[in-house]
Structure 1
Amino acid sequence: MNDASTGSESGAWLVVGLGNPGPSYAGHRHNVGYRVADELASRLGSGFRPHKSGRADVVEGRLGGPGGIGGERVVLARPRCYMNETGGPVSTLAKFYKIPVERIIAVHDELDIAFDTLRVKRGGGDNGHNGLRSMRRSLDSGEFYRVRVGIGRPPGRQDPASFVLSDYSSAERKALPFQVDRAADAVESLLTEGLEATQSRFNS
């Protein structure tokens, strides 16, 4: 089932890759959440399709089972709006599938973590991230999980806002597939092993 056009999924998880839509943003550091969502969709053997709300693309399936069998029911989502409007589509999907905030995972870029590093946590503020701020406002809670994919601080005096909206360096692009794969592994670990085990494995 790839299409989210019917029914609600009691007991499902909502995994949201944060980013900006359109080809001009595709290579930006700010779009690494989209990349991780794409990797998870490939593990499901499916491509994203528009949700009937018109505000997100989604894939439904199961992740985290041994050998790709079974596992947790998930809805993968990529909001079809700019980062600072992410919360609206996420709130709409959460209501449609009847998914509580404690079963939502946001995958996003993180300036305060070095490139090729990631951290997993639940709750907290938005640390200046417009996508997280929008989600917290629309969900009326920040108690969702976060897979924080490090992009590092900008070099010299470069403005952080322009840094996140710029492409990875050539050296970073070589390592990026491994980072994306590891972040997708962290999402699957959260689904099946829980927060503490996932932090022990990935927060290093």
Structure 2
Amino acid sequence: MDIKGLIVGLGNPGEAYRDTRHNVGFMVVDAVLDEIAAKPYRRQTKLPSPAEFDLWAVSLPRVRGDFLLAKPYTYMNLSGRAVARICMENGVKPENVLVIHDEMDLPFGRLKAKLGGGTAGHNGLASIVSELGSERFLRLRVGIGRPPERGQVTEWVLAPFSSEEAQRLPDVLVTARDALPLFFTPGGKGLSQAQQALHAFDVSFSDPDNEKSSE
């Protein structure tokens, strides 16, 4: 199998967390799998995996080769354990890893792409940096905004999207899903192409108190 990279959606396992903001990475992975299932010419193979993650080999549009697609089930704070194991067992380098995660420093309805950088207090990213020994992996940051009051971070990320957000969420997931092949465009221009596509997307609400953006 010609593995070109690893795409990881972050979240927490279990029905209680399924629709929460913290699980938007899982939701993007599900959007990828749903699209492939509807198109028989696309490849999708569920790979044998331990209890700590689910793993698929999939094809992406306009990109040659196969990609690993993963959901870590180690809970958010230990996501790096699953990511590091997948990378080690499949020979994937950190720079070929793309992590999809929720981002409070972006308002809901915004998407950003970057390579490397800090973790901004995101425990899943911190775990991956620690286990990989590198921060130079790709990130697709899915905005969830900040809670209306300080000190409510845990409650915010572990709560479901609001009814208004839920109406716009499918557009967010589809846009994130469709940008994934861009990250792996040959010729070294993948990140810039993904940034052009994602940074132009905006279905955010006009809330001046929720417009902090970390580039």
CA shift for structure 1 position 58:
1.2
Aligned equivalent of 1:3? none
Give the AA of the match of 1:14: L
Q: Which moved more, 1:21-30 or 1:189-198?
A: 189-198
Aligned equivalent of 1:165? 158
List, as ranges, runs of 4+ consecutive aligned residues in structure 1 with deviation greater than 6 Å: none
Write the distance in 1 (CA, Å) between the matches of 2:159 and 2:44.
Answer: 26
Count of residue pairs brought into register by the alignment: 192
Aligned equivalent of 1:64? 61
Note if 1:148 corresponds to 2:129: no
Distance 1:84 1:26, change over 3 A: same
Alignment check: 8 A CA contact 2:74 2:81 kept = no
Q: Which moved more, 1:36-45 or 1:84-93?
A: 36-45
Aligned equivalent of 2:66? 73
Alignment check: 8 A CA contact 1:64 1:191 kept = no
5 Å-filtered alignment, 1:21-32, equals 21-32=13-24
Provide, for residues 33-92 of structure 1, a one-character-per-residue CA deviation record: whole Å limited to 9, x for no partner: 000011112233287846433321011121022xxxx63421100011210010001000
Write the distance in 2 (CA, Å) between the matches of 1:92 and 1:156.
Answer: 38
CA shift for structure 1 position 11:
4.2
Aligned equivalent of 1:203? 199
Q: Over the residues paired in the alignment, what is the CA RMSD in angstroms?
A: 1.8
Q: Which moved more, 1:184-193 or 1:160-169?
A: 184-193
Write the distance in 2 (CA, Å) between the matches of 1:29 and 1:108.
Answer: 10
CA shift for structure 1 position 176:
0.4
**Quick one: percent identity of the two aligned structures?**
36
Write the distance in 2 (CA, Å) between the matches of 1:47 and 1:26.
Answer: 22
Q: Which runs of 5+ in 2 are unaligned?
A: 38-42, 201-215
Aligned equivalent of 1:15? 7
Distance 1:89 1:175, change over 3 A: same
Q: Which runs of 5+ in 1 are unaligned?
A: 1-8
Aligned equivalent of 2:128? 135
Alignment check: 8 A CA contact 2:44 2:57 kept = no
Provide, for residues 71-118 of structure 1, a one-character-per-residue CA deviation record: whole Å limited to 9, x for no partner: 342110001121001000100000111111110000000000010110
- TM-score of the two chains, using structure 1 as the length reference: 0.88
Provide, for residues 5-56 of structure 1, a one-character-per-residue CA deviation record: whole Å limited to 9, x for no partner: xxxx554210000000000000100000000011112233287846433321
Q: Which moved more, 1:182-191 or 1:114-123?
A: 182-191
Aligned equivalent of 1:101? 94
Note if 1:189 corresponds to 2:182: yes
